[in-house]
């Protein structure tokens, strides 16, 4: 049975996206007057429901972090508000003094506290589609937090259903590219005290959109995936983001000759995974590479820690 969006395993995705975009702005990674991706660009690139991005931007505008115009442009506000400043009630769906953590049911927070304090350190399940990528993210997150972090491919989640239902994991973490997919699967398990699903916004996702926006129409863009499926997903993200005036050519480590052909085509920019980037660098030191699966940024790690501490 599909559970309500207000059920214990649900933190609205638009709230998660809003909070992490806000952190990037507060840290001046995206400074005042900087341009953020449009709703179409961000939702398409992250393969996310456009209404989710629209809701996140609407709240950021209501809180004074961004300005929107009729053309769809999203700009960081000239002066960011103080976090302690409250917005008039009723402007957005919830009162501003409520954080996404304060919306978590008290019963859920207490049970997580008992698990974390009474039996073991917090346990996180990190789910992604690429085996190398998910292992790198899990190791990085475990080093940064001291939590137990288990990597899992999304296609293998079913094998861990029993441990999830038995309450072993405090959080399930993935990237925004897969958060809606993972949430839907978790909801399919039925009612119960499920772990929260947290999405990580990779700064490299936003950087990729920015770099692609600056290319002239007709520019050739190379896409290098660890797997052919991953390269194809990269390609679909760019198309769904509305950047259809770019010429796209893909290659994969599964077929090294396809990467050699990619180099021979001399693209203006190559989006690739870290593994493909290392291979391409061995062929030529001077390449316009943008590593798309760069490590989790500090804001994402801090966000995960806040979630765990909020439930303990």
pLDDT digits (tens, 9 = 90+) for 75-117: 999 988 876 333 332 333 333 333 333 333 444 334 444 444 4
Range of the domain at 53: 13-202+296-311
Cα(58)–Cα(92) distance, integer angstroms: 8
Do 184 and 211 lie in one domain? The reply is no
Q: Is residue 32 located within the same domain as residue 173? A: yes
Q: Is residue 123 part of a domain?
A: yes
> Is 6 within the bounds of a domain?
no
Yes or no: say if 225 and 253 are a contact pair by the CB < 8 Å rule.
Answer: yes
Q: Which of residues 206 and 104 earns the better pLDDT score? A: 206
Q: Residue 2 domain-assigned?
A: no
**DSSP letter string over the chain?**
-PPPTTSTT---HHHHHHHHHHHHHHTTSS-TTPEEPPHHHHHHHTT--HHHHHHHHHHHHHTTSEEE-TT--EEE-SSPPPTTPPPPTTSSSS-TT--TTTTS-HHHHHHHHHHHHHTSS-EEEEEES-HHHHHHHHHHHHHHH--EEEEEEGGGGGGGHHHHHTT--SEEEEETTTHHHHHHHHHHT-SS-PPEEEEE--HHHHHHHHHHHTSPTT-EEEEEESSHHHHHHHHHHHHHTT-TTSEEEEEETTBHHHHHHHHHT--SEEEE-HHHHHHHHHH-S---EEETTPPPPHHHHHHHHHHHHHH-
Residues 139 and 21 in one domain: yes
**pLDDT per position as a tens digit, 280-292:** 988 877 788 888 7
**Res. 28: pLDDT tops 70:** yes
* Residues 211 and 163 grouped into a single domain: no
Q: Does position 150 have pLDDT exceeding 90, yes or no? A: yes
Residue 103 has a pLDDT of 37
Residue 130 resides in a domain: yes
- Residue 293's pLDDT is what? 66
Same domain as 51, residue 64: yes
Q: Higher confidence at residue 116 or residue 73?
A: 73
Nearest to 127 by CA among 107, 150, 111, 109: 150
The sheet with strand 74-76 has its strands ordered as 35-36, 74-76, 66-68
Q: Are residues 23 and 36 in the same domain?
A: yes
Q: What is the pLDDT of residue 1?
A: 32
Average pLDDT score over residue span 125-151: 89
Is residue 61 domain-shared with residue 181, that is, in the same domain? Answer: yes
Task: Please check whether residues 24 and 118 belong to one and the same domain.
Answer: yes
Distance, in Å, from the CA atom of 192 to the CA atom of 83, rounded to the nearest integer, reads 34
Is 8 a member of any domain? no
Q: Please tell me the predicted confidence (pLDDT) of residue 151.
A: 94
Task: Read off the pLDDT of each residue in 129-154 and give the average, rounded to a whole number.
Answer: 89
Q: Is the pLDDT of residue 172 over 90?
A: yes
Give the count of alpha carbons within 13 A of 141, CB side only.
32
> If we measure between CA atoms, which residue out of 210, 245, 180, 198 comes closest to residue 38?
210
On whether both 107 and 192 belong to a single domain, the answer is yes
Residue range 27-41: mean pLDDT, rounded: 90
pLDDT-above-90 percentage for the chain: 36
Torsion over CA: 170, 176, 182, 183 (sign): positive
CA distance 182 to 199: 10
pLDDT at 118 over 90: no
Looking up residue 185, the CATH number of its domain turns out to be 1.10.10.10
Domain count, the chain: 2
Is 233 part of a structural domain of the chain? yes
Paired tokens of 90: 């009723």
Residue 250, pLDDT score? 95
Q: How many other CB atoms sit within 10 Å of the CB of residue 285?
A: 7
Residue 3 counted as domain residue:
no
pLDDT value, residue 311: 56
Is residue 18 scored above 50 in pLDDT? Answer: yes
Global confidence as pTM: 0.76
Can you give the pLDDT at residue 104?
A: 37
Q: Same domain, yes or no, for 217 and 188?
A: no
- Calculate the average pLDDT of the chain: 80
What's the mean pLDDT in 191-207? 79
In a domain, 119, yes or no: yes
Same-domain status, 166 and 271: no
* The pLDDT of residue 20: 85
Domain check: are 20 and 149 in the same one? yes
**Span 169-187, average pLDDT:** 89
| pLDDT tens-place string over residues 214-273 | 999 999 999 998 889 889 988 999 999 999 899 999 999 999 999 999 999 999 999 988
pLDDT of residue 120: 65
């Amino acid at each position: 049975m599909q559970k309500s969006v207000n059920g214990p395993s649900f933190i609205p995705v638009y709230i998660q996206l809003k909070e992490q975009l806000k952190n990037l702005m507060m840290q001046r990674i995206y400074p005042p007057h900087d341009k953020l991706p449009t709703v179409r660009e961000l939702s398409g690139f992250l393969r996310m429901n456009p209404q989710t991005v629209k809701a996140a931007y609407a709240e950021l505008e209501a809180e004074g972090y961004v300005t929107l115009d009729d053309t769809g442009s999203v700009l960081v506000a000239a002066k960011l508000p103080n976090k302690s400043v409250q917005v008039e009630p009723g402007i957005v769906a919830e009162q501003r003094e409520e954080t996404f953590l304060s919306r978590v049911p008290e019963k859920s927070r207490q049970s997580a506290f008992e698990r974390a304090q009474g039996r073991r350190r917090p346990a996180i399940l990190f789910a992604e589609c690429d085996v190398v990528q998910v292992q790198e993210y899990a190791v990085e997150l475990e080093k940064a937090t001291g939590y137990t972090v288990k990597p899992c491919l999304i296609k293998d989640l079913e094998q861990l259903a029993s441990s999830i239902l038995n309450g072993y994991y405090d959080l399930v973490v993935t990237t925004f590219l897969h958060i809606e997919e993972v949430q839907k699967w978790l909801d399919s398990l039925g009612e119960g005290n499920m772990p929260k699903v947290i999405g990580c916004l990779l700064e490299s996702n936003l950087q990729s959109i920015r770099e692609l926006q600056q290319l002239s129409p007709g520019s050739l863009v190379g896409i290098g995936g660890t797997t052919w499926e991953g390269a194809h997903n990269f390609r679909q993200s760019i198309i769904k983001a509305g950047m259809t005036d770019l010429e796209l050519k893909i290659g994969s480590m599964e077929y090294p000759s396809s990467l050699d052909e990619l180099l021979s085509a001399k693209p203006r920019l190559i989006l690739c995974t870290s593994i493909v980037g290392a291979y391409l660098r061995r062929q030529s030191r001077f390449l316009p590479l943008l590593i798309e699966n760069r490590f989790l940024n500090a804001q994402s790690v801090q966000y995960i820690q806040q979630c765990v501490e909020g439930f303990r």
